[in-house]
């Protein structure tokens, strides 16, 4: 009898304790990145920690493999499952390879989302894109408008290869919004094939055959650097501006030289912040990840999911002389 | 002496001039002295690499690793410069030559001492050198703001209207021309490639001559590594990706025989200029990017056909007659 009583009491205490623990335990979110030690993801972690601090009862476990491999990420995911985290937010090294591991996680009640680089639909509840094609196209046009005198004049596009899907989609989106900007005249689209020397030569050719061009939009990180260098070498700083998509560390020097006034790319801090907020809200049941749903992301507003349960975070973030040095240290 | 009209370099020079004139009809702004100087500057690196490649091809070998060597040497000096901007430029120039030369030594030793076919050796070292850049840099870029102003500025220093980059090419062309014409080694390139067996009887070490050609190609690739990185003010794993094909194409257009033993400095330089002019002109005259590749390719094949015809030997004709009679 006595033994039974003790056992029962212990059980009760344990039960109470675990209930208490369950209430007080923070939401544990595993932030899985492509590889550790990459500036972009370190910055995303900074945003994730900010989100955790903001909500108060969340803990971010920042983890990832040492090299960008799917195998490494599967190992990391399995260990997160063993740790019984509440949510996993992953930037995947492989669209399909992670699906079985992530399915296993979801079977155990873990909320799985992907961000930055997505996984196939079966392996996640939703995917957060840093931006969307229409937003990127629109931003590129706005950036060009900003450097054209009074927002009017000739500009050109320096792309990657004529067959690169991303660039072609963005250029299409740019052309869609152009009619809203009368006075802006797209004179030519040239292709640098994402090779520094070809992009440089194409820029020279562009400036020669279209001397009226005042702005060059390069939605490719190799192209924008080469175009900026070509403009500097031609002594056209202040007359022709280069803009587009690029990384702060790669463009800091050209912003200083004056050939680039401003450019855009996603802000990794915001991205990590938003992914964490979404994961937290899904765990807390404040939102559900299904097509058409809106999920709050704290200071970043809301993300609306499309039929693939994919959503876009925001406009690309604009970098200029004021903030480029600060971000150049990050990525 | 051959009559001038049968001289391959003379013909090629005519073709180059005709090409410039043709472009001038469509885009007069291309033919201004300032722009032609720019085209020459842009072609400088290709020209220097073509000279190194020519030496290798003449000895019946090939160097597929030139672009990878260029990229690795360039990355090394860029990283050193980024880590310690105080290191003076002469030291960095020496470093890029040492790195490039050492990579050439690796190629040369594998061909000479281990006796592996050169295409296999350099196909392997191409990947190894590219991979090494990734290991060194971790895939990160070295960007303009990490390089010192002197590092970026040196090839841009102007002297008599031409930047130092173009002058470097001119000096190298003269040096190589002198070396090929007047040194024992220069003549050995022809002898070894033209008839290896006879070369051995003449007391020439075939493997050693090939080794020397690789070291020369490596040294030039090393020098171009620095020049490339500072010209485009960026260093990353893929710089000059596929450039080795341009270099070989320049040699072939310039009349360097892939079978070895035939080639001239003038030819290689004109071949490089021909490619450089085409590459620079196509964007100016606004040719569709899809056509650009086809045109470049067509031009290479046309040049080779012309070269092969002018290089055809009498002996073949006799054979054909013999065949017709039988």
Q: What is the structure's pLDDT at B317?
A: 44
Q: What is the structure's pLDDT at A163?
A: 82
Q: Is the minimum CB–CB distance between B31 and chain A shorter than 8 Å?
A: no
A to B CB pairs, distance under 8 Å: 76
* Alpha-carbon span B150 to B157, nearest angstrom: 10
Q: Where are the alpha helices (DSSP H) in B233-264?
A: 243-253
Q: Do B42 and A206 touch (CB under 8 A)?
A: no
Mutation target to probe the B interface, by most B beta carbons within 10 A, among A67, A157, A220, A253 is: A253
Q: Which residues of B touch A250 (CB under 8 A)?
A: 141, 143, 234
Q: Which residues of B touch A188 (CB under 8 A)?
A: 286
- C-beta of residue A162 within 8 angstroms of C-beta of residue B290: yes
User: pLDDT-based confidence at B321, cuts 50/70/90?
Assistant: low
Q: What is the structure's pLDDT at A50?
A: 93
* Alpha-carbon span B151 to B234, nearest angstrom: 11
Q: Which residues of A touch B242 (CB under 8 A)?
A: 195
Q: Which residues of B touch A249 (CB under 8 A)?
A: 141, 143
- b/e per residue, B134-166, with b = 16+ CB within 10 A? eeebeeebbbbbbbbeebbebbeeeeeebbbbb
Question: Mean of the pLDDT values across residues B107-124?
Answer: 95
Output the pTM of the full model.
0.80
Q: What is the structure's pLDDT at B120?
A: 96
Which of 79-98 (B) contact A at CB < 8 A? none
* Alpha-carbon span A180 to A182, nearest angstrom: 6
**Closest partner CB to A208 (pick from B35, B42, B233):** B35
Q: Which residues of B touch A167 (CB under 8 A)?
A: none
* Alpha-carbon span B254 to B270, nearest angstrom: 6
Task: Specify the pairing of strand A213-218 against strand A241-244.
Answer: parallel
Q: What does chain A come to in residues?
A: 331
Question: Would you tell me how many other CB atoms lie within 10 Å of the CB of residue B103?
Answer: 29
User: pLDDT-based confidence at B316, cuts 50/70/90?
Assistant: very low
Q: Is the minimum CB–CB distance between B245 and chain A shorter than 8 Å?
A: no
**Closest partner CB to B241 (pick from A190, A195, A209):** A195
End-to-end CA distance of chain B: 36
* Alpha-carbon span B69 to A34, nearest angstrom: 29
* Alpha-carbon span A227 to A197, nearest angstrom: 10
Q: What are phi and psi of A314, to 5 degrees?
A: -165, 180
Q: What is the structure's pLDDT at B139?
A: 78
Segments of chain A with pLDDT less than 70: 1-24
Q: Burial, A298: exposed, middle or buried (Cβ in 10 Å; 0-12, 13-18, 19+)? A: middle
Q: What is the structure's pLDDT at A15?
A: 53
Return the residue of A nearest to B30 by Cα.
A208
pLDDT digits (tens, 9 = 90+) for A131-182: 999 999 999 999 999 999 988 999 999 998 888 888 899 999 999 999 999 9
Percent of chain B with pLDDT over 90: 67
Q: What is the structure's pLDDT at A308?
A: 86
**Secondary structure class of A154 (helix, strand, coil):** strand
Computed over its alpha carbons, how large is the radius of gyration of chain A?
24
Task: Specify the pairing of strand A153-159 against strand A213-218.
Answer: parallel
Q: Where are the beta strands (DSSP E) in chain B?
A: 158-159, 162-163
Q: What is the structure's pLDDT at B306?
A: 72
Mutation target to probe the B interface, by most B beta carbons within 10 A, among A34, A163, A250, A326 is: A250
- b/e per residue, A120-132, with b = 16+ CB within 10 A? beebbbbbbbbbb
ipTM for the complex? 0.81
Domains of chain A: 2-130+268-314 (3.40.50.2300), 133-265 (3.40.50.2300)
Cross-strand partners of A157: A189, A217
Q: Which residues of B touch A202 (CB under 8 A)?
A: 283
Pick the residue with more confidence: B314 or B97? B97
Q: What are phi and psi of A187, to 5 degrees?
A: -90, -30
End-to-end CA distance of chain A: 67
Q: Do B29 and A208 touch (CB under 8 A)?
A: yes
Spatial neighbors of B229 by CB under 8 A, at least 6 apart, are B74, B75, B77, B78, B142, B235, B239
Picking from B6-10, B217-221, B277-281, B314-318, which range would have the lowest pLDDT averaged per residue? B314-318
**Closest partner CB to B27 (pick from A198, A209, A225):** A209
Q: What is the structure's pLDDT at B1?
A: 47
Return the residue of A nearest to B146 by Cα.
A253
Mean pLDDT of chain B: 89
Count of H helices and E strands in chain A?
11, 14
Computed over its alpha carbons, how large is the radius of gyration of chain B?
21
Distance from CA of A34 to the nearest CA of B (A): 14
**Closest partner CB to A250 (pick from B29, B141, B231):** B141
Distance from CA of B145 to the nearest CA of A (A): 4
Q: Which residues of A touch B234 (CB under 8 A)?
A: 196, 225-226, 229, 250
Distance from CA of B8 to the nearest CA of A (A): 29
The full DSSP string for A155-188 is EEEEES-TT-HHHHHHHHHHHHHGGGSTTEEEEE
- C-beta of residue A54 within 8 angstroms of C-beta of residue A281: no
Q: Which residues of A touch B239 (CB under 8 A)?
A: 196
* Alpha-carbon span B242 to A52, nearest angstrom: 47
Q: Which residues of A touch B162 (CB under 8 A)?
A: none
**Secondary structure class of A251 (helix, strand, coil):** helix
3-state SS of B65-82 is CHHHHHHHHHHHHHHHHH
Return the residue of A nearest to B143 by Cα.
A250
Percent of chain A with pLDDT over 90: 62
Question: Which of B52, B57, B36, B66 is closest to B244 using CA atoms?
Answer: B66
């Amino acid at each position: 009898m006595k033994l039974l009583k003790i056992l029962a009491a212990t059980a009760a205490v344990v039960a109470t304790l675990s209930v208490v623990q369950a209430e007080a335990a923070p939401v544990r979110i595993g932030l899985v990145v492509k590889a550790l030690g990459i500036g972009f993801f370190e910055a995303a972690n900074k945003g994730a920690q900010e989100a955790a601090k903001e909500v108060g009862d969340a803990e971010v476990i920042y983890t990832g493999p040492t090299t960008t491999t799917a195998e490494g990420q599967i190992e990391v995911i399995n260990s997160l499952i063993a740790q019984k985290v509440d949510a996993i937010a992953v930037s995947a090294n492989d669209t399909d390879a992670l699906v079985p591991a992530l399915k296993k996680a979801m079977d155990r009640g873990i909320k799985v989302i992907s961000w930055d680089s997505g996984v196939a639909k079966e392996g996640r509840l939703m995917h957060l894109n840093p931006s969307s094609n229409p937003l990127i196209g629109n931003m590129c046009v706005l950036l060009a408008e900003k450097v054209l005198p009074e927002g009017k004049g000739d500009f050109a596009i320096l792309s990657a290869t004529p067959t690169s899907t991303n660039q072609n989609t963005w250029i299409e989106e740019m052309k869609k919004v152009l009619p809203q900007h009368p006075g802006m005249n797209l004179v030519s689209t040239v292709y640098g094939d994402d090779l520094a020397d070809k992009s440089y030569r194409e820029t020279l050719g562009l400036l020669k055959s279209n001397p009226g061009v005042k702005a060059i939009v390069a939605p490719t990180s190799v192209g924008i650097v080469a175009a900026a260098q070509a403009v500097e070498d031609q002594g056209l700083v202040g007359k022709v501006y280069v803009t587009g998509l690029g990384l702060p560390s790669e463009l800091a020097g050209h912003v200083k030289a004056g050939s680039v006034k401003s450019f855009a790319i996603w802000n990794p801090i915001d991205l990590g912040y938003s992914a964490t907020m979404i994961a937290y809200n899904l765990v807390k049941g404040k939102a559900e990840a299904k097509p058409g749903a809106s999920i709050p992301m704290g200071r970043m507003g809301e993300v609306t999911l499309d039929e693939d349960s994919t959503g876009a975070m925001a406009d690309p973030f604009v970098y200029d002389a004021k903030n480029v040095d600060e971000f150049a240290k990050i990525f | 002496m051959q009559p001038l009209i049968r001289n391959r370099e003379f013909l090629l020079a005519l073709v180059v001039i005709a090409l410039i004139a043709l472009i001038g009809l469509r885009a007069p702004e291309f033919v201004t002295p300032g722009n032609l100087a720019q085209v020459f500057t842009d072609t400088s690196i290709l020209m220097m690499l073509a000279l190194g490649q020519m030496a290798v091809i003449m000895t019946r070998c090939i160097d597929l690793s030139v672009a990878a060597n260029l990229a690795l040497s360039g990355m090394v000096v860029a990283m050193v410069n980024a880590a310690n901007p105080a290191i003076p430029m002469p030291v960095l120039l020496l470093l890029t030559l040492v790195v490039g030369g050492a990579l050439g030594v690796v190629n040369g030793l594998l061909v000479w001492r281990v006796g592996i076919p050169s295409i296999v050796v350099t196909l392997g070292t191409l990947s190894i050198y590219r991979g090494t850049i990734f290991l060194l840099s971790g895939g990160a870029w070295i960007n303009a703001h990490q390089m010192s102003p002197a590092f970026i500025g040196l090839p841009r220093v102007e002297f008599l209207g031409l930047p130092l980059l173009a002058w470097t090419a001119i000096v190298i062309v003269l040096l190589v021309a002198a070396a090929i014409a007047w040194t024992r080694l220069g003549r050995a390139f022809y002898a070894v490639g033209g008839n290896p067996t006879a070369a051995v009887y003449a007391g020439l070490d075939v493997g050693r001559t090939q080794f020397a050609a690789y070291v020369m190609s490596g040294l030039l690739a090393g020098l171009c590594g620095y020049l490339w990185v500072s010209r485009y003010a960026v260093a990353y794993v893929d710089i000059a990706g596929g450039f080795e094909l341009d270099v070989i194409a320049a040699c072939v257009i310039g009349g360097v025989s892939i079978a070895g033993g035939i080639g001239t400095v003038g030819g290689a330089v004109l071949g490089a200029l021909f490619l450089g002019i085409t590459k620079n002109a196509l964007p100016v005259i606004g040719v569709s990017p899809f056509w650009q590749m086809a045109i470049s390719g067509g031009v290479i094949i046309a040049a080779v056909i012309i070269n092969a015809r002018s290089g055809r030997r009498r002996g073949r004709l006799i054979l054909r007659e013999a065949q017709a009679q039988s």
